[in-house]
A = this chain, B = another copy of it.
Amino acid sequence: MKAGIVGANGYSGAELIRLLLNHPQIKLEMLIAHTNAGTDIQSIYPHFDGIVERTLEDFDADELAKRVDVVFFATPAGVSKHLLPDCLNHGLICIDLSGDFRLKNPQDYADWYQKEPADEALFGDAVYGLAEVNRRRIEGATFISNPGCYPTAALLGLAPVLKNDVIDMTSIIIDGKSGVSGSGKKEVLSNLFCEVNENVKAYKLGRHQHTPEIEQMIAQMSGEQTAITFTTHLIPMTRGLMCTTYANLKQGFSTRELLERYETFYEKSPFVRIRPLGSWPATKEVIGSNYCDIGLNVDGRTRRLTIVSVIDNIVKGAAGQAVQNLNIIKGWDEQTGLGFTPIYP
């Protein structure tokens, strides 16, 4: 199967290249990057020297239709809404890593992204590619919207307790911490080494665009509309993302009981690992891999549950999850090409 990547010069695009090179069913055929068209990928990313040497091309849906079967959009918000429809029309499998097609309600997109939403004909059509939750909907789909990095960690952390009256749905608080690669390869002040290093910064309080995405999926999974508090922090590291999620328990569950529930819930999900009682994951323990590791703690004094979930934001939070989705679409083993052991230390 042949693949094209739009936005191949960004960090998620480069990671897609790394992962797809390792995929036995995929041949990388087109690397597309509007701003660097005509340049060789290895001159932008010398780490690809001798591994993948290919000239970046400009976007052309007709050309894509001729040469590839699947297109990954690793583009900033606001780009795929213009380019992806043509590819869908050409019958290509489209996997969008941006936020353009994640929300079901165009007004939410307009409000939280402060951009024009995609054409209504298409808006809401994408299958939300959170494989562990939506696996059946993904099978055979042709249009996938890949989850955001924060929603991936937050929702995988919450999914097993969203049903059966386990938690008070109005009490959910998600405290997110992310490495800087989550904000992409952008030459802006807030991404400068001197601004990030030796620093922790809270940002976009009350207005992070991943909020409605998380709430939408909580509603899908729980059947209840709820508003969450979601706070994001920039941490001095390149890769890695943690969500520390808090919720009040409706009943007096023990940590052990909930761990069992998580183990059962994720029994058939090879990329989710549950930590044993009294231990919680660190981001470094999943770096370079497609894992989401989860640890729990119930505080008996407050009857409150704390969930710690971690991912590599560029793998499970972007490129890895996209490949996982393709595997499911095609009926391949979900782990095909994704058997990376985390790199430690």
Contacts and interface: CB of A to CB of B under 8 A. Distances in A.
A339 B202 CA distance: 26
Contact of A187 (B192, B273, B281, B295): B192
A233 interface: yes
Contacts of A302: 170, 227-229
B343 A288 contact: yes
Interface in A36-53: 45-51
Interface stretch (A86-94, A126-134, A238-246): A238-246
B198 A239 contact: yes
A283 to B, nearest CB: 5
Given A237-B200, A280-B205, A302-B228, A47 B342 contact: yes
A99 B196 CA distance: 27
A301 B310 CA distance: 27
A194 B180 contact: yes
A275 B46 contact: yes
B191 A194 contact: yes
B280 A194 contact: no
A223 interface: no
Contacts of A51: 341
A341 B198 CA distance: 17
A272 to B, nearest CB: 10
A195 B273 contact: no
Given A175-B175, A193-B191, A284-B47, A341 B233 contact: no
Interface in A284-341: 284-289, 293, 295, 297-299, 301-302, 304, 306, 308, 310, 339, 341
Number of copies: 4
Contacts of A11: 194, 345
B195 A345 contact: yes
A185 B193 CA distance: 10
Given A191-B193, A192-B187, A200 B46 contact: no
5 closest A-B pairs by beta carbon, nearest first, are A199-B284, A201-B282, A205-B297, A47-B342, A194-B345
Interface of A: 11, 14, 17-18, 21-22, 45-51, 170, 173, 175, 177, 179-181, 185-189, 191-203, 205-206, 227-229, 231, 233, 235-240, 242, 244, 246, 270, 273, 275, 279-289, 293, 295, 297-299, 301-302, 304, 306, 308, 310, 339, 341-345
28 contacts: A11-B194, A21-B341, A173-B246, A177-B233, A179-B198, A187-B188, A193-B236, A195-B284, A198-B198, A198-B287, A199-B237, A199-B284, A200-B237, A200-B242, A200-B282, A202-B280, A202-B295, A202-B308, A205-B280, A227-B299, A229-B246, A229-B299, A229-B302, A231-B244, A231-B306, A235-B236, A239-B345, A246-B246
